[in-house]
Structure 1
Amino acid sequence: MKRLLFATIISFNLFFAFAQTTPFDYEKQTGYKGNNIPDLTYLEDSYSFLVLGDFGRVGDYYQQDVARELGHAAIVAEAEFIVSVGDNFYPNGVASTTDYHWISSYESIYKDPSLYCDWYVALGNHDYRGNVQAQIDYSDVSRRWNMPARYYSKTFEIDDNEKMLLVVMDTNPYIDGYHEDPEKYADLAKQDTALQTQWLIEQLNTTDPQVKWKIVVGHHPLYSGGKRKESEDTKLFEQKFAGLFDQYKVDAYICGHEHDLQIIKPQNRFTTQFLSGAASEVRASGKRDGTIFAAAEPGFMAFSILDNKMLIQSVQATATGAKVLHKHELTK
């Protein structure tokens, strides 16, 4: 009887211990070899995903540090998927689905078991210098790489009553300066921006009452305090889409192109921009009107949705670990 009682107490204690642990604590108990990110906030029962951009540099620059910590963050935050905002392969995209760049810059770099989840991928300008169709076709080669078309959307169920709409744009055809160099961007002139804009409006004008959060992903920023702060292309892109995103109540526009981390919401705008383009190379950052956060550090962003709030954490990756540089909250 005493042995039975003792065994029951031990079983109860083990169950209680596992029930109270974070996702990272649980994985460590079951054999995971990765490290924790102690100041990355885990919200129990939240719906989370990670965002990186401008990454494909055969593991050089800061790419391997960011990849390692991205894997740790996916465990800590219990991320559902990864978003890449483009410039997936430097300097000139890929030639085919068997290009060695897939191995040297993607498969052999993002190898933490937590990163074998779905990746939803956008196209950057460097991707357009190669074979764009090969990146689309790689969706049939890789279980985790998702790029069904140059632009696409997907709706995620956050819980039984709420959904999140993720709209992935192809922003490259909208950048006027690229059309001045048809040799470098040979495929660009074939793209119908009017058709994509019509599609974008149809997606954002959803009649689904359960869609609570609207997120748009693209490569190019609406605003920047960094290198392209005064760029004519950036200013024209803002003119084309900032008002439209406000009109359709887009909660977050996620982008890259600048090689840093920035959060910007200009006065009187509805949409907040989250720029996460520091997954390999890093450039000097800066501020402008509406800058909430800016850092010239390698890293990525973690998004967690719970109830009426979205928590966005900007994470710096170093050679020895990671730390959260900034936390921002959107409230419905």
Structure 2
Amino acid sequence: MNSLRATLLLTLAASSISAAAQPGKALLPELIRTVPSPYREELETLHTAIPTEEQQAALQKIAAQPEAGLILALKYIGQQPQAFDFLTKQLSKDTDANHRLLILTQSLRGQVRSLQASSRSLHSPSAVRAELAEQPEKRMQLQTILEHLVATDSNADVALEAARDLRKLNWGVNGQFLLKAADNAHQRQDTAGETALRKEAYDWLPYDEQVNLPTFLRTPPPVFSAVPESKAIRVLAFGDFGNGSPAQKQLAATMLTYSKQHPFDFGITVGDNFYPRGVSSPDDPHWVNDWEKVYGPLGISFYPALGNHDYLQADGPAAEVIYTHKSKTWHMPATFYTYTAGPVQFFVIDTMEMSDTALYQQQLAWLDAEIAKSKARWKVVYGHYQVYSASRGDEQNLIDRLMPVLRNGVNLFLCGHDHNLQELQSDGGVSFFVSGAAGASLYDFTQKNYTRTTFQAKQNGFNVIDADQNSLKVSVIGMDGTILKSVDIH
């Protein structure tokens, strides 16, 4: 496995080379002999011209990386939609495990991302995305090929990479195929491969179980009322908190002090409710220690969203839904749901499902329909993952999937995930706030030259939403109770 890992690491730099804006040509004579004949012939069939500068760079690497020529060839083959059949056939025909690994990492990975309906991949041109997105049968074909590769390939590194691609296409099946691969490695007496495959399998089996949660946990109830429509409301909002840290407890004390002068009608959370791995059951000690004791003194009900850390135990999401029936403060009727409060309709989404799995269509269709029929003066959507952020950057899956729905009348999107406080430029009439600073360790703003930020603060804090029939105001409150930013949304 070590030699294949070394090959894979050496290819990472090559995968980031952008095509030079200069005339290209077929393979240079010195490079031709380093590329196996099937791949040379496919380049010729595709009439692919590779910039001379990139070919010369590959030649300079060959002494240390003999596969440099093949890596370059596969990079350009993978950019052609018509090469799909050739590449998938080579996965079964090519007996060299290094070659199969490179097909996965250098050619097919970009097409996997395209089939994922995302423009996240920098190495997947728009032409590839457009063609593949219109051909769902190719998604199923590639999924079947990857499943077979994970379960049967004679090389553990190839099986691992195939599993990582399969995960992008279809959550909920990775663990079972990886366990088959581990059994095969055991029969081959490949101890290192078996260990790596079993570790990956056990890491992902809990996620598989979560994706296959009972349907009723993912079935939102009809819209319900939390506060009468005629009443103006004040809402406490925060995220990324449940770790029992001094910062969490100090900020909760600030919330309590603030509420004595400005009473809250209820609260919302934007996920990562419990660290480091969510809760194990409705009786987990986290509930008392990091929820009831900390926020119970506020004397209000909360309507939480799930975050990625809430998914890190197999029973975590189910436990958070079921705890609703044990608590006076916690109300999560499903993994996504909607309710009205005063002049606002709130839509709580599961961004883990919406961004990271193939299950998002049902939730997105529900959200679109609920927004369309809402008669509320204001519409607020909240969940965990960011759409825009100056820390982790923009979440392309949510831009692709969620933004077209948000632009249909939503006024505010509130999230966490990045552990700081931000306001971002509006998009399509939607205002954006990040509120992920209620106790977890704080994040820097790492996106250089990021232009969407209108406010940012690396400190613990929370948000307050005030709404009546005439106005919707969002305030950012710091650790000491100071108002750091206040915005009227029109």
TM bin, normalised by shorter chain, reads 0.7 to 0.9
List 4+ stretches of structure 1 deviating above 6 A: none
> What is the Cα deviation at residue 285 of structure 1?
3.0
Of 263, 270, 278, which aligns to 2:429?
Answer: 270
Q: Give yes or no for the alignment of 1:201 onto 2:368.
A: yes
For 2:475, the equivalent position in structure 1 comes to: 313
> What is the Cα deviation at residue 61 of structure 1?
4.5
Q: Aligned partner of 1:229: which letter?
A: G
Distance 1:292 1:286 in 2: 15
Structure 2 vs 1, CA of residues 194 and 72 (structure 1 numbering), >3 Å: closer, same or farther?
Answer: same
For 1:128, the equivalent position in structure 2 comes to: 311
Please list the CA deviations of residues 261-284 of structure 1 after superposition, one character each: whole Å capped at 9, or x if unmatched: 111124x53101111010002212
Aligned to 2:318, the other structure's residue is in SS state helix
Query: What are the equivalent positions in structure 2 for 1:99-248 lying under 5 Å apart?
Result: 99-112=284-297, 115-130=298-313, 131-156=316-341, 158=342, 163-176=343-356, 192-206=359-373, 208=375, 211-226=376-391, 228-229=392-393, 234-246=395-407, 248=408
TM-score by length of 1: 0.73
Q: Give yes or no for the alignment of 1:298 onto 2:460.
A: yes
Please list the CA deviations of residues 5-27 of structure 1 after superposition, one character each: whole Å capped at 9, or x if unmatched: xxxxxxxxxxxxxxxxxxxxxxx
Say whether the 8 Å CA contact 1:286–1:295 is kept in structure 2: no
Distance 1:273 1:214 in 2: 13
Say whether the 8 Å CA contact 1:66–1:279 is kept in structure 2: yes
Please list the CA deviations of residues 186-223 of structure 1 after superposition, one character each: whole Å capped at 9, or x if unmatched: xxx7xx32111111111101153xx1000001101110
Distance 2:374 2:324 in 1: 29
Please list the CA deviations of residues 50-90 of structure 1 after superposition, one character each: whole Å capped at 9, or x if unmatched: 101011002x1510111111122223222111000000000
More strand by share: 1
Structure with max Cα Rg: 2
Say whether the 8 Å CA contact 1:50–1:74 is kept in structure 2: no
TM-score by length of 2: 0.50
Distance 1:95 1:148 in 2: 18
Distance 1:52 1:251 in 2: 18
Q: Which gives a bigger RCO, structure 1 or 2 (Cα 8 Å, sep 6+)?
A: 1
Q: Give yes or no for the alignment of 1:261 onto 2:421.
A: yes
> What is the Cα deviation at residue 244 of structure 1?
1.8
Structure 2 vs 1, CA of residues 193 and 236 (structure 1 numbering), >3 Å: closer, same or farther?
Answer: closer
Distance 2:472 2:345 in 1: 14
For 1:24, the equivalent position in structure 2 comes to: none
Kindly report the root-mean-square deviation, in angstroms, between the aligned alpha carbons of the 2 structures: 1.7
For 1:249, the equivalent position in structure 2 comes to: 409
> What is the Cα deviation at residue 239 of structure 1?
1.9
More helix by share: 2
Aligned to 2:373, the other structure's residue is in SS state coil
Query: What are the equivalent positions in structure 2 for 1:77-116 lying under 5 Å apart?
Result: 77-112=262-297, 115-116=298-299
Identity, % of aligned positions: 30
Aligned to 2:272, the other structure's residue is in SS state coil
Distance 1:123 1:132 in 2: 7
**Count, aligned residues:** 255
> Structure 2: which 5+ residue stretches go unaligned?
1-230
